[in-house]
Chain A
Amino acid sequence: MQKMILALVLLITMEASAQNDKYTQVMLKNIALLDSAKSIDELQSLAGNFERIGDAEKTKWLPYYYAALAQTWVGWSPATKDKDANAAKIKAYLDKAEAIEKNAELYAVENMAATQQMLMDPQTRWATNGKDASVALQNGLKIDPNNPRLYYLQGMSLFNTPPQFGGGKDKAKPVFQKSLDLYKSATPQPLAPKWGQKQTEDMLAQCQ
């Protein structure tokens, strides 16, 4: 009898971990696809996959985070003309994620979405979208002052601002360096965001 109980307990825990495993497996598979995705349709479809995982799981922010991230990669594509509409999609995913947990990684995506909108017309959007982007960055750094991706984004903003307006390579370089140091010392969890180290290294090379 004891054995039967033991067996049942085992069965139940295994079933539960199998469920978890299913989530982990599906997430890992989609994250791998996201890392290799090239076309807008692929990214778009991955954003949809992550959203469905999030909707089914209901208590996990990571699927929505990755949905937002995939949508952000769509936004960086020059083929995506209407960044406002794309940013609205990113925002919708972020809202769902933030309802579960508000953290620095989400602010990093928010920063990119606002930056994409700002770049459509920097002259007039500096004060609105540009401000949103910098507020998101500041908020993120408040929560997690050691997030390498936030420093990478801060570096990008400085790198792309003309020296006359307080930006430039010289200003960006130490920020990229700090970002890279943080990447090197980080030990990310299996599903946690880990993108950005390669980009930071590339940018740092450009600052030399």
Chain B
Amino acid sequence: MKPKMIGDKMTVLLTALFFLTGLFFTGGLAAQTTVSGTVKDPKGHPVRGASISIKDSYDGAVSDSLGAFHFSSADKGTFTISVSNIGYNPYEQPITLGGGPVVLHFVIKEQLSELKAVTITAGSFTAGDAKRGAVLSSLDVATTAGSNADITAALKTLPGAQQVGEQEGLFVRGGAGYEAKQYIDGTLVNNPYYSSVPDIAQRGRFSPFLFKGTVFSTGGYSALYGQALSSVVLLESIDLPEKSEVDASISPIVLGVGTQQLSSNKRSSYGFSYNYVNVGLYFKAVKQIPDYFQMPQFHNGDANFRIKTKNGGIIKYYTTFAYSNLGLRRQDWDSLNYKDAFSLTNHNWYNNLSWREYLNNGWKMDLGASYSTNLDNIGQQLQDAFNRPKSFADSIFWMNGKQFGIDQRQDLSQIKAVFDKKLGGISSIRFGSEYMYAYNYQKFRSPVYPTMDSMYKFKDNFNAVFAESDIFLTNELAAKLGVRYEHSSVINKSDIAPRVSLAYKTGPEAQVSLAYGIFYQKPENSQLFYTTNVGFTKATHYIINYQKMSKDRIFRLEAYYKKYEDLIKTVPVNYFYSTFNNSGSGYAKGIELFWRDKKTIKDFDYWVSYSYLDTKRDYLNYTAQLMPSFAATHTASLVMKKFFTKIKSGVNLTYSYATGRPYYNFMLNNGAGGTKYNLAESGKTKDFNALNFSAEYVPGIGKAKAKSFLVLFASVSNVLGYNAVYGYNFSYSGLYKQAIVPPANRFYFIGCFISWGVDRSQDAINNNL
């Protein structure tokens, strides 16, 4: 019995307990409090998907597409209710439950976010793989027909740049080539191109594959940069390579080998490469107009190391050494019996060391140092029909003036520091300073007039301090305010350059930007050799830009006005000697259009650029404000790329067009008013057309874990053989003019690139899938 009794009692007890515990968690059911309401943003738009919850309980809800929510809770007392949603500032408030239904209307504010915020696009084309707003990637540069992997050539297919074929450099919006500057990792590159050869444009020294990002600013650029009246090209070198690899390039023109070694902990890497370019074979096969007595050859070597620091920063060092020589003869334009023989030997050494570090409290530091030295040995001679040197009587001094030797050297050492601080949210300020020490000399030798032998040199200590701030008022409205102070010791002048830009988002993918800025630039070395009694040249930019950009399409429309002041004017003293002053002036205005579309046709990518330019300037030996000889009124490019996945090949076409450019013959006259230039003849060249073609075959695409990777590449520039005329050289008499034409009508290239140890097909897929 006893056990039964116990059992009975237990049953009763357990039943009671069961009810009791049951009450613990169901007892509240009778007294549920309903909580309902809405979540909206300050503009009154509903916020969908916001989470509303009573802290430390299961109770809560998520707002629906109308921003409404509804839930009930069994709790009683005072609790905290919180509202949260990604991209919005969280919100909390106390809530009393148990006293009847609660209705709450929450307003939550969107957080400022770098991904959503507007960016300033006036005057700037961002090219790069990672960055949003990218216009061109390094593979785009390589696969733009006609560029032959030259960064500048690819940038020429963007609006703002002129189709100048007889000189290296970017001629941007009525600016001369030397008014555009290149920066690598924040520091200025003194000699970005191979040394000039008269009337033949030279390539840039740097491969597009060295860089992960490129910004091509056609005006209104940041206060961090200066000394460029029209444009800056900002190149950011790549960080660590993905894998160790060895690569080789083989073509009738160039042979190269290189390696990149990534440490096993993937914190550092080093690499070096060497290539040798000799166009001898090619020039034998494809007739050139000039007669090359020394076939152009180039030795290029480079080395680098990169180290990741603890806090996510990186130290990068890059050095490149180049040696080249060439010699060519062309018909003299004063006498059909003689030839001009030009020879050039160049040594160039470039070093760049940069350190980016993330410090505490939102500070970022960018330090850069660079050193470069460039030596040109130039010879210019008149030769007769048998290629023998020829000298002339004093009475035909202009012929003797074409016989000389020049040894010139440009050294540039610089350091730059930029500090960047995030100010609550995404606004930031940055400031810094740069110092450059330049040493330049030029030795001139005249075999005919030894008394004219001369040595010009100067040193310049150049300082700049700058500050800039990015202010985001909302995700839709941003401003960038900057100012830059510069001092150059050689001219002993200072300047202050303000820069302002604004961007306003007009729609989810569309925005309007405005930019204004003053830009100063030191006179060129060739002018400073003769006089240092000159000041900065000056340009003021006003830009308005509209951009609509979606994943696969970009549309840009930009208008600008530029005012030039204090441009350098040549003051002739005699035929051989001139001095300079700042009495020049000018303007440029225009409209530019850009459209890129990767979407409409599958595997087909194209872009169209159009530039309208109205510019005049009075500079150098110009007799008045005239349209400069490098400027065309209308310039357009159509770039097309199509990849055929089935045959693992791509073909690319570029068509470029520019209306004729003006040419002038300014003759030196000894008149009543002293020695001065007169405009003896002017005209316009015919329109420029070029259709360029290239193709690549990438058999390794998709072969996972392939040990080697091969790319075959071929290109033809100016397929249709259009005869381009870039301008004219005038005889001393002014009676004869000789057209400036490319050394050959077409340029062919075929090459093979192989890499071992890394699957580059990823790159190819990125670009062409």
Chain A residues proximal to chain B, CB less than 8 Å = 3, 7, 10-11, 14-15, 18, 22, 26, 40-41, 44-45, 47-49, 51-53, 55-56, 84-85, 88-89, 92, 120-124, 126-128, 162-167
Contacts and interface: CB of A to CB of B under 8 A. Distances in A.
Given A123-B769, A164-B648, A22 B17 contact: no
A49 B115 CA distance: 28
Contacts of A11: 17, 20-21
B646 A7 contact: no
A121 B61 contact: no
Interface stretch (B218-226, B677-685, B759-767): B759-767
Interface in B44-65: 48-49, 51-53, 55-62, 64-65
13 contacts: A11-B20, A15-B21, A48-B52, A51-B51, A52-B57, A52-B59, A56-B56, A85-B87, A121-B551, A122-B769, A124-B129, A163-B702, A165-B765
B701 interface: yes
A127 B762 contact: yes
* A-B CB proximity, top 9 nearest: A48-B62, A165-B702, A45-B62, A166-B702, A166-B704, A48-B51, A52-B60, A41-B64, A52-B53
B766 A127 contact: yes
B762 A126 contact: yes
A98 to B, nearest CB: 17
Interface in B551-594: 551-552
Main secondary structure of the interface of A (DSSP, over half): helix
Most chain B CB inside 10 Å of its own CB: which residue of A41, A162, A165: A165
Contacts of B768: 123
Given A18-B21, A124-B766, A127-B762, A55 B130 contact: no
Contacts of B103: none
B163 to A, nearest CB: 29
A56 B82 CA distance: 13
Contacts of B59: 52
Given A15-B24, A123-B598, A7 B13 contact: yes
Contacts of B129: 124, 127
Nearest to B9: A3
Interface string B141-155: 000000000000000
B765 A26 contact: no
Contacts of B130: 128
B62 A162 contact: no
A1 to B, nearest CB: 14
Interface residues of B, number: 49
A126 B9 CA distance: 71
A45 B61 contact: yes
A77 to B, nearest CB: 12
Interface string B22-40: 0011000000000000000
A55 B9 CA distance: 41
Interface in B95-134: 115, 129-130, 134
Most chain B CB inside 10 Å of its own CB: which residue of A40, A123, A163: A123
B14 interface: yes
B53 A55 contact: yes
A64 to B, nearest CB: 13
Nearest to A127: B766
B285 interface: no
B86 interface: yes
A18 B58 contact: no
Contacts of A26: 58
Contact of A47 (B62, B552, B762): B62
B387 interface: no
A44 B64 CA distance: 8
B418 to A, nearest CB: 26
Contacts of B761: 165
B645 interface: yes
A121 to B, nearest CB: 5
Nearest to A11: B17
B88 to A, nearest CB: 11
Nearest to B646: A164
Given A18-B24, A84-B115, A165-B702, A123 B17 contact: no
Contact of B17 (A10, A51, A56): A10
Contacts of B25: 18, 22
A3 B768 CA distance: 79
B766 A56 contact: no
B765 A126 contact: yes
A17 to B, nearest CB: 10
B87 A162 contact: no
Given A15-B21, A52-B59, A121-B552, 14 more contacts: A3-B13, A11-B21, A18-B24, A40-B65, A45-B62, A48-B61, A49-B60, A56-B58, A122-B769, A123-B765, A124-B134, A128-B130, A162-B702, A165-B769
Contacts of B267: none
Contacts of B266: none
Nearest to B132: A124
Contacts of A85: 86-87
Contacts of A167: 702
Interface in B643-676: 645-646, 648
